[in-house]
Amino acid sequence: MPPARRPPRPGGIACRLSVVHAKMVLMRGDRATPAALLAVLYGVSGLLCLATALRPMRPGTPVGLVAVLAVIGLGGGSAIWFLGARLRPWALHAAVGLMSVLIGVLAWRSVTAVGIVGLGPVLIAVALYAAHFFALRAARLHAVLLVVAASAGAVAARPSGFVQPWLAVVVSVLALAEAQGRLARTLRTAAATDPLTGVANRRAWEAEAERNLARAARTGEPLSFAILDLDDFKEVNDRDGHPAGDLLLRDLTAGWTRRLRRADLLGRYGGDEFVLCLPATDESGTWEFLAQLDATNEFAWSAGVATARPGDTLADVLARADADLYQQKRSGRRR
């Protein structure tokens, strides 16, 4: 018996894309970049603290605290750089959260209004980092934590005349974080989405499929792939024009998308060729699911199916699915 499939989630293409993008939020296909930039942020902060500890700008400078922060910045930056792509998403969140708390501590010991407001560029840098690499909701939470921690430290320092400039810093941090977060989300969506159908494009699909394949190899859970090829699609374009063909593609993918589980991944692989990645599904379960997709539209299409085997690469399993597709075509089987 194939593994049980959960009922389809409502919501169509927008719902499906939210899953794809949530999985891409931390650029998991390129974990080294966020780690490297965070390491630089830590390292530069550590160097600035070290310079301040070695050459204090005023007699009341908390040299001991600044020296500790220098060690944390330089040590933390080195560790993050060394771990690089091996860092888990939660570790990046924790490192950014720790930096927010340390900024609050530094604000508390800065004492003077000038020293507190001077932390503005650091707050903006941390907020922009979170907004660029994290999901919008997570970035907002980081921005709030950053502002609350720094403001709490500033209030605890009790300097005079800092409220007005500090409010300007807070508003700037929140506004810039929101703007960058929205822009980053838009860019991620554009980079991962086929503009015509709204499903994952080939690059995004392959990246997520590779991760599913690695997960299946670790857990032993079945993982199946299907290649869907539209029959006689060229005739639609030749007979009715490309707008009719585009409309057909959108209708087909909208119907298929409504049948997907949360973990399933549909992508456009070529002009009239689509691919499915189905976690926790064996070959027989995949054919049953394809029968459900067939009921969403009358247009005929053919399919080839392959289930991942130990040691398979994505190219291996897709080659078997492609071979199965042509075998189905030769046998005259259609969905």
- Which residue ranges form the domains of the chain, and what is each CATH number? 14-192 (no CATH), 197-331 (3.30.70.270)
Task: Determine which of 21-25, 80-84, 203-207 has the lowest per-residue pLDDT on average.
Answer: 21-25
Inform me whether the pLDDT recorded for 80 exceeds 70. Answer: yes
Model pLDDT, residue 14: 38
Read off the pLDDT band of 30 (50, 70, 90).
low
Inform me whether the pLDDT recorded for 334 exceeds 60. Answer: no
Read off the pLDDT band of 333 (50, 70, 90).
low
- For the chain, give the mean pLDDT: 85
CA distance 314 to 182: 33
Inform me whether the pLDDT recorded for 13 exceeds 70. Answer: no
In this structure, the number of other CB atoms found within 10 A of the CB of residue 109 comes to 18
Q: Please state the rounded mean pLDDT for residues 210-229.
A: 94
Read off the pLDDT band of 1 (50, 70, 90).
very low
pLDDT tens-digit map of 100-123? 999 999 888 875 666 677 788 899
Phi, psi (rounded to 5 degrees) for 111: 70, -55
3-state class of 214 per DSSP?
A: helix
Q: Please state the rounded mean pLDDT for residues 86-102.
A: 93
Task: Give the ranges where 158-201 is alpha helix by DSSP (H).
Answer: 163-192
CA distance 241 to 248: 11
Inform me whether the pLDDT recorded for 236 exceeds 90. Answer: no
- Report percent pLDDT > 90 for the chain: 56
pLDDT tens-digit map of 258-306? 999 888 999 999 888 999 999 999 999 999 999 999 999 899 999 999 9
Return the ∠ at Cα 41 (arms to 47 and 173), rounded to 5°. Answer: 115
Instruction: Return the structure tokens found at 120.
Output: 């503005």
Task: Determine which of 50-59, 154-163, 227-236, 303-312 has the lowest per-residue pLDDT on average.
Answer: 154-163
Dihedral of the CA atoms 91, 93, 97, 103 (nearest 10)?
Answer: 90
Quote the radius of gyration of the chain (alpha carbons, Å): 26
CA distance 247 to 261: 24
3-state class of 134 per DSSP?
A: coil
CA distance 325 to 329: 6
HSE of 16 in the Cβ direction (CA atoms, 13 Å)? 26
Task: Determine which of 189-198, 200-209, 252-261, 286-295 has the lowest per-residue pLDDT on average.
Answer: 189-198
Confidence (pTM): 0.69
Model pLDDT, residue 110: 74
Inform me whether the pLDDT recorded for 252 exceeds 80. Answer: yes
Inform me whether the pLDDT recorded for 42 exceeds 50. Answer: yes
Q: Beta strand 273-279 with 265-268: parallel, antiparallel or unpaired?
A: antiparallel
Q: Please state the rounded mean pLDDT for residues 219-229.
A: 94
Inform me whether the pLDDT recorded for 16 exceeds 50. Answer: no
CA-nearest of 93, 144, 146 to 121 is 146
Inform me whether the pLDDT recorded for 60 exceeds 80. Answer: no
Asked if residue 126 lies in contact with residue 103, where contact means CB atoms within 8 angstroms, the answer is yes
Q: Beta strand 223-230 with 273-279: parallel, antiparallel or unpaired?
A: antiparallel
Q: Per DSSP, which regions of the chain are E strands? A: 223-230, 265-268, 273-279, 301-307
Instruction: Return the structure tokens found at 124.
Output: 């903006």
pLDDT tens-digit map of 152-190? 988 887 777 778 888 888 999 999 999 999 999 888 888
For the chain, what's the residue count? 335
Handedness of CA 113, 114, 117, 119 (dihedral sign): negative
Model pLDDT, residue 111: 59
Inform me whether the pLDDT recorded for 25 exceeds 50. Answer: no
Read off the pLDDT band of 28 (50, 70, 90).
very low
Read off the pLDDT band of 10 (50, 70, 90).
very low
Q: Give me the residues paired with residue 268 across strands.
A: 274
CA distance 31 to 77: 15
CA-nearest of 134, 119, 229 to 173 is 119
